[in-house]
Amino acid sequence: MIFDRIFKNKPRPAPTTEALQVGSRTAPLLMVPHPRARRYLLRLRPDGTIRVTIPRHGSLSAARDFAARNVGWLEQQFQQLAARPQTPARWNLETEIYFRGERVRLGTEADGSISFGTERLPVSAAAGDLRPAIEKHLRHLAAQELPPRVMELAAAHGVDVARVSVRNQKSRWGSCSRRGTISLNWRLIQSPGFVRDYIILHELAHRRQMNHSEKFWQEVARLCPDYLAAERWLKQHSSLLK
Ligand SMILES: [Zn+2]
């Protein structure tokens, strides 16, 4: 999501969508010209769309051939995607959710309250869908924990922050305003610490570069050397935002 916006200021040729047969399934094949790509790149997105990146002097027909030559690899990717744990829309006992980067199972205590990880909630398991109560609790934890962590990292790197707000964004993990307000998604409480820190450092880097230029990414790499691993985790767990 973040990488997709890096080049937003430059006009780009439009992507083309076709279909590709992979084993027994027909999948959408999205072919995206990318002026800065050096070679053809293939990837399976979490929504089941196959994406081929076309380099500067590439062509649609070569992109099509490239995808077709790699159907074996794509088939493996589809299998991995199907095996990836999904969290259902309704949460009840036995549902597994992400909490601090780990999958934890919702359980019940002797007094009937709900537990997961080290957390205990005075909510009855008989209450039906447990999701609203648990999300409220997670959001409360995030509101307690995220702002002090921002201030800690901001102080460590000498960055000014005017205000931190913890919000319920639908499609982004964080943002930074020109006035220095950093907004973070409460769902970061569901991610591992290194991912949470990456998002915070990403927003702090925007205090120095209000864009996604090369300079910005250099700053991110300086503040957070393992940011690519964090980006990968976020990509693999993008369903947490839905
Ligand atoms: Zn950004």
pLDDT of res. 7: 46
pLDDT 10s digits, 148-176:
999 999 999 999 999 999 999 888 999 99
Nearest Cα to 201, choosing from 178, 226, 179?
226
44-48, 135-139, 157-161, 165-169: the lowest-pLDDT one: 44-48
pLDDT band at 1 (very low <50, low <70, confident <90, very high): very low
What integer pLDDT is reported at residue 59 of this predicted model?
A: 94
Span 60-86, pLDDT tens digits: 999 999 999 999 999 999 988 887 767
Q: How buried is residue 16: exposed, middle or buried, by Cβ count under 10 Å (0-12/13-18/19+)?
A: middle
Whole-Å CA distances, 98 to 47, 105, 125, 190, 192 = 19, 9, 19, 5, 9
Mean pLDDT of 134-148: 97
Element (H, E) at 98: strand 96-99
Q: How far is the CA of 195 from the centre of ligand 1 (A)?
A: 14
Judged by DSSP in three states, 97 sits in strand
b or e along 53-82 (b: 16 or more beta carbons within 10 Å of the residue's beta carbon)?
A: bbbeebeeeebbebbeebbeebeebbeeee
> Cα of 143 to ligand 1 centre, how many Å?
21
Cα(168) to centroid(ligand 1), Å? 17
Distance from Cα 29 to the centre of ligand 1, integer Å: 27
Tell which residue, 129, 87, 111, has the closest CA to residue 120. Answer: 111
Q: How far is the CA of 133 from the centre of ligand 1 (A)?
A: 31
High-pLDDT (> 90) share of the chain, %: 71
Distance in angstroms (rounded) separating the CA atoms of residues 164 and 176: 9
Q: What is the pLDDT of residues 176-217, one digit of tens each?
A: 999 999 999 999 999 999 999 999 999 999 999 999 999 999
- Residue 201: which residues within 8 A CB-CB, separation 6 or more? 153, 157, 220, 223, 224, 227
Compute, in angstroms, the gap from residue 74 CA to the centroid of ligand 1. 30
Q: How far is the CA of 237 from the centre of ligand 1 (A)?
A: 18
Q: Which amino acid is at 116?
A: F
| Residue 163 burial (CB count, 10 A) | 12
pLDDT on residue 240: 87
Q: Give me ligand 1 centre to Cα 219, in Å.
A: 12
Q: How far is the CA of 17 from the centre of ligand 1 (A)?
A: 27
- Kindly tell me the burial class for residue 137, based on how many C-beta atoms sit within 10 Å of its own C-beta (0-12, 13-18, 19 or more): middle
* Per-residue model confidence as pLDDT tens digits over 220-234: 999 999 999 999 999
Q: Kindly state the percentage of the chain with pLDDT values over 70.
A: 94
Model-wide pTM > 0.85 = no
